[in-house]
Amino acid sequence: MVKYKNNGRVAEFKPAWWLNHAHLQTLYPALLRNTPSLPLVRERLITPDNDFIDIDYCGTGTQPLVILLHGLTGNSQSSYIKGLQSVLLQQGFRSAALNFRGCSGEYNRLARCYHSGETEDIHFLYQTLRLREPTTPIAVVGFSLGGNVLLKWLGEQGEQLSLFAAVAVSVPLVLSTCATKLDNGFSKLYRANLLRELKHYVSAKQQHLEHLGATEEANKIKQLGDLSTIDSFWQYDDRVVAPLHGFANVHDYYQRSSSRQFLKAITIPTLVIQAHDDPFMTADVLPHADELSATVQLEITQSGGHVGFVAGKNPLQPVYWIEQRILTFLFQSAAGRNIRIITPTNP
């Protein structure tokens, strides 16, 4: 159960004693978690602008479907995605993990890629699935950047969506605050690692586009100039994300893409889970109660790090509390809509 406090509910999450620190909570599941092999089926969808997105499906039949959205520099193979897909399969849900553009192991065809406010591709996937399965109960779960995309999309679409639930975890609700947080203390190590991956990706993608003969698209990246001196997200988002995706500058990007401003417009039953000790953000990003719609439930843990939330007494048997909390919310929301979930005996 949870207790109400200030602008959210304090969830009773107790971190594992051997991971009783924000950075350990953040790093352990990302680097050391073993995830099971899953029966995945990949589909490539051609987008309206003639690019593509790859979707990894898990589960068959007509059971409810959960769309999963990964975080920055992640993909459908990220441990938190595979872990949740495994649990969903065991509990009678199908899942569809979206790889944002360029994240599936193959570079996309255009200079544009994905960013914290890019909601066109999730909407395209949703529309595609709805056309195929008009009556299937669908939910969406997003982590970190994927959570920001999810909340922004829910707010943009309002009552136009037919979903039974949504869950967003460790969301950078105010992008400017989070970018600044990553400039300080130990968090700079996360920043350095993420920026190294992003800059390498941009450089390699330019070469890929040139090899494809997509000269115009390659030149869009070339015109960004030398990115080697970039050492903050403020700089990266100003020099790369903003010009490639139609924003005037980093301030325009952060203002228009931060999801906190969209919470009031959400009409889908939505759970937002944040940790007070998240090294990617500060408590300033948390919304006040009057910023939440009646369907949005904010839960705040005192610990848990960034997409961590690892519990358990035995280091050999970690308990991924976040997956249990997500499942509980999905089952509660499904029951509220009289949606039947059949748990398989041998998933």
R_g of the chain computed on alpha carbons: 19
The Cα angle at residue 112 between residues 190 and 218, in degrees rounded to 5: 105
Pairwise CA distance, residues 76 & 204, whole Å = 21
DSSP 111: S
Q: Which of 94, 79, 4 minimizes the C-alpha distance to 40?
A: 94
Buried b (16+ CB within 10 A) or exposed e, 200-231: ebbeebbebbeeeeeeebbebbeeeeebeebe
List C-alpha distances in Å: 237 to 150, 174, 223: 20, 14, 15
Pairwise CA distance, residues 87 & 141, whole Å = 13
Q: Which of 70, 115, 208, 306 is catalytic?
A: 306
79 counts as catalytic:
no
237 counts as catalytic:
no
Look at the chain and count its residues: 347
306 counts as catalytic:
yes
Question: Is 263 within 8 Å of 292 (Cβ atoms)?
Answer: yes
Counts of helices then strands in the chain (DSSP H, E): 11, 12
Pairwise CA distance, residues 292 & 4, whole Å = 14
Q: Which of 176, 278, 303, 333 is catalytic?
A: 278
Assign residue 59 a region (left: φ > 0; alpha: ψ between -120 and 50; beta: otherwise): left
**Which amino acid appears at position 129 of this protein?**
L
Q: Which of 78, 79, 116, 144 is catalytic?
A: 144
Question: Is 125 within 8 Å of 261 (Cβ atoms)?
Answer: no
Active site members: 144, 278, 306
